[in-house]
Structure 1
Amino acid sequence: MNRPTAIDLFCGAGGLSEGLRQAGYSIVAGNDIDPFAGATFVATHKEAYFLEGSIRDLDASDFLKATGLKKGELDCLAGGPPCQGYSVYNHQRGMHDERSHLFREYLRIVEGLMPKWLVMENVTGIMSAGEGEAFQGVLAGIKELGYNVEAQILRAEDYGIPQERRRVVFIANRIGLPIVWPERTHGEGLSPLTTIHDALSDLPSLSNGEDAGVCGYASEPKSDYQRELRAGSNAVYNHAAPRLGAINIERMQHIPQGGSWRDIPFDLLPAGMKRAKRSDHTKRYGRMKWDEQSCTVLTKCDVHWGAYIHPEQDRSITVREAARIQSFPDWFRFEGPRTEQYVQVGNAVPPMLGRKIGEAILFAESALADTRENELVASLG
């Protein structure tokens, strides 16, 4: 039986693609404007055709030609139009930001491909930006094309990912099936939440600014999460600590696990933070706790932005550690300059969440197949 097909628009490094592949999809094509993310996608999705460039310069026919599919044959079109225009971290966010309108390009490609299913992901800010204009525009646009659509906020930690991350997910289909959402697997009454220790405790120690190159693991897997992410990899890649100045190292030495800028002596604080209220900037200069989850992995794991200090080592987390927190498998190597690697990781849909979404869609499909089989048996009986 052939695997269902998927195309990923605004694919970045391919986190959502990797999740769908783990669920059982064949990723036949991807598109992104970022050449560094594209290099990672090409290296990690060798079965897919990559179309580099702005979505505005592409038509549905380009994807059909690349994949050999005809209109209506694609099983799933996935995508996450750039979210910076909606992000709460963008204090000028709103519909005036041209990135806020890229969802219309997604809908244009939908109209030309007419896939059976749609999956679209974005930051929760899309629900409020422009008084909800973009959110309602997405829903209305999908419905106008003949799809049944629903949207929910999914929490990454509910699905075994060691990170507090909330994203709006749209799921739609035009084949008359109900929308099935992935059931929570972790949290109260379920499996324990995955912790930073579960995610990172087997990785080699590093000093500030140290680049381990391609190196071995520090230990055997210490958790099921590590065991799963290490499958298919015999080494650790992208594990290099950014070099921070001496003043930042001195600040870190005062910060315990779970602590933050509030633990830094006043005379060591950056000038701007000396004027801050104790209630401000709650995650700045935060040190992770082994037994808790990470804050949201952003495009810069900068200690000035959030809690990105290693639980025990006086340094900020590496690209590999950020990728572990995002649930990327260890064989998944990120290309380009290190700053661009962080961007790729931070922009990605956690593959483990993508897999849960893909599995939910395939469950809806299998339920339909079972119903039809039962109806056929009944009619023959």
Structure 2
Amino acid sequence: MIFRLGELFCGPGGLAYGATHADIGNDDFKIVHAWANDYDRSTCDTYIHNICPDAPDSVMCGDVRKLDLDATTTIDALAFGFPCNDFSVVGEQKGFDGTFGPLYSYGIKILKIHQPQWFLAENVGGLRSANEGKAFKKILQDMKDAGYKIYPHLYKFEEYGVPQARHRMIIVGIREDLPYEFKVPSPKPYENIDNTCKTALECPPIPENACNNELTKQSAKVVERLSYIKPGENAFTADLPEELKLKVKGAKISQIYKRLDPSKPAYTVTGSGGGGTHIYHYSENRALTNRERARLQSFPDNYEFQGPKESVRRQIGMAVPCRGAQIIFEAILKTFANIDYPFVEANQSTDLDK
């Protein structure tokens, strides 16, 4: 059973890489790229370069609100990591009242047009609380109304071997006329994986000629400030001389000039933010390179990001970790292949309002 995958809000290809590399030991069950969409040119170029270099026209670069969705080719599966800006716990949490909140509805439209056998939708964990929880319930209901059994779960990717604390709401849907029940894959098989950020960045060492590995320019003052910050500390918890302290009123964000703790997974890689938010090395007085950030997102070293350096930084921060995505896609394939796998018991699950 070969599933042709369509993607909305595809980003640089974290979900697509996980999908197309999903392997359950049975070549009759796999996922292949059909088409994808994103609004950002550099992001689309990254996706094309790494996922479908022989089919560049299969990536529709433009605002989803202006696409002719009815003209998209038939698909068997849909993935959509709908924009999370308005559902994130960082910021104002505008939910449906924001610019990005309603964009999930374009995924619903594709479900109604093509009725794929299954879908995977991704968003931030804060989705559950946006609009006092009403946004999440509305989204789940719309998915059900489109004809799907749904399986939402808050995945903590560091529990699945990803070297980064990244919590995302993933909703798997299976068309209601199909005799399959998805089960959330258990993190237990990944308990003994060394997923510390130190191991991720050093084993093996990043090749000298690796792409996207340029150092960030930093002022002498920033370097001096970092010299006082110990692994795991930030600009507000470290013992800094008065002249190096940040003059910030109000909330003190914990990730400002925060050094990684080499004995733990990294804290969450983000796609935007000014000075002090680039993620800082545990032993060197510098920000991580984009290639190092990509490793924390479990992209392979030969995955080449296209576009200017800041665009690449944003692409990496907005992506779904490849390794985590692959685990979920493999669970979907095993579901359709009737292959048993370790799963999270219902009373242990964080899924909501089925």
The TM tier, using the shorter chain, reads 0.7 to 0.9
Question: Max radius of gyration: which structure?
Answer: 1
Does residue 317 of structure 1 match 2:288? yes
Letter in 2 for 1:27: H
Letter in 2 for 1:356: I
Does residue 267 of structure 1 match 2:243? yes
Q: Which runs of 5+ in 1 are unaligned?
A: 205-215, 219-234, 370-381
Q: Is the 8 A contact 2:36 2:60 kept in 1?
A: yes
Are residues 202 and 359 of structure 1, via their aligned partners in 2, closer, same or farther at CA, if it must alter by over 3 Å?
closer
CA distance in structure 1 between the aligned counterparts of 2:88 and 2:194, rounded to whole angstroms: 26
CA shift for structure 1 position 193: 4.5
Q: TM-score, normalised by structure 2?
A: 0.87
1:241 aligned partner: 215
CA distance in structure 2 between the aligned counterparts of 1:13 and 1:139, rounded to whole angstroms: 26
Q: TM-score, normalised by structure 1?
A: 0.81
Does residue 56 of structure 1 match 2:57? no
CA distance in structure 2 between the aligned counterparts of 1:284 and 1:315, rounded to whole angstroms: 13
CA distance in structure 2 between the aligned counterparts of 1:166 and 1:338, rounded to whole angstroms: 26
1:291 aligned partner: 263
Q: Is the 8 A contact 2:86 2:94 kept in 1?
A: yes
RMSD of Structure 2 on Structure 1 (CA)? 2.1
CA distance in structure 2 between the aligned counterparts of 1:100 and 1:258, rounded to whole angstroms: 34
- Fraction of identical pairs, as percent: 29
Per the alignment, in what secondary structure is the counterpart of residue 25 of structure 1?
strand
Matches within 5 A, 1:354-365: 354-365=325-336
The one-character-per-residue Cα deviations of 1:84-142 (angstroms, maximum 9, x if unpaired) are 01111123533210200101111011111110001000001111111122211211111
CA shift for structure 1 position 61: 2.8
Matches within 5 A, 1:97-176: 97-174=98-175, 175-176=178-179
* Aligned length in residues: 326
CA distance in structure 2 between the aligned counterparts of 1:341 and 1:42, rounded to whole angstroms: 14
Matches within 5 A, 1:83-98: 83-91=84-92, 93-98=94-99
Letter in 1 for 2:31: Y
The one-character-per-residue Cα deviations of 1:208-261 (angstroms, maximum 9, x if unpaired) are xxxxxxxx726xxxxxxxxxxxxxxxx411001211222111101111222221
Higher relative contact order (CA 8 A, sep 6+): 2
CA distance in structure 1 between the aligned counterparts of 2:145 and 2:13, rounded to whole angstroms: 28
Per the alignment, in what secondary structure is the counterpart of residue 151 of structure 1?
strand
Q: Is the 8 A contact 1:7 1:77 kept in 2?
A: yes
Are residues 165 and 186 of structure 1, via their aligned partners in 2, closer, same or farther at CA, if it must alter by over 3 Å?
farther
CA distance in structure 2 between the aligned counterparts of 1:131 and 1:12, rounded to whole angstroms: 28
Are residues 185 and 351 of structure 1, via their aligned partners in 2, closer, same or farther at CA, if it must alter by over 3 Å?
farther
Per the alignment, in what secondary structure is the counterpart of residue 4 of structure 1?
strand
Letter in 2 for 1:121: E
The one-character-per-residue Cα deviations of 1:261-289 (angstroms, maximum 9, x if unpaired) are 122223211222xx568xx4333211112
Q: Which runs of 5+ in 2 are unaligned?
A: 23-29, 341-354
Letter in 1 for 2:186: E
2:337 aligned partner: 366
Per the alignment, in what secondary structure is the counterpart of residue 215 of structure 2?
coil
Letter in 1 for 2:38: D
CA distance in structure 2 between the aligned counterparts of 1:54 and 1:301, rounded to whole angstroms: 23
Does residue 11 of structure 1 match 2:10? yes
Letter in 1 for 2:207: Y
CA distance in structure 2 between the aligned counterparts of 1:136 and 1:310, rounded to whole angstroms: 40
CA distance in structure 2 between the aligned counterparts of 1:296 and 1:271, rounded to whole angstroms: 24
1:199 aligned partner: 200
CA distance in structure 2 between the aligned counterparts of 1:331 and 1:257, rounded to whole angstroms: 29
Per the alignment, in what secondary structure is the counterpart of residue 134 of structure 2?
helix
CA shift for structure 1 position 368: 7.8
Q: Is the 8 A contact 2:8 2:79 kept in 1?
A: yes
Q: Is the 8 A contact 1:160 1:185 kept in 2?
A: no
CA distance in structure 2 between the aligned counterparts of 1:7 and 1:92, rounded to whole angstroms: 28
Q: Is the 8 A contact 1:303 1:316 kept in 2?
A: no
Greater CA drift, 250-259 or 344-353: 250-259
1:210 aligned partner: none
CA distance in structure 2 between the aligned counterparts of 1:237 and 1:301, rounded to whole angstroms: 23
Letter in 2 for 1:31: N
2:350 aligned partner: none
CA distance in structure 2 between the aligned counterparts of 1:89 and 1:139, rounded to whole angstroms: 22
Q: Is the 8 A contact 1:101 1:134 kept in 2?
A: no
Q: Is the 8 A contact 1:127 1:134 kept in 2?
A: yes
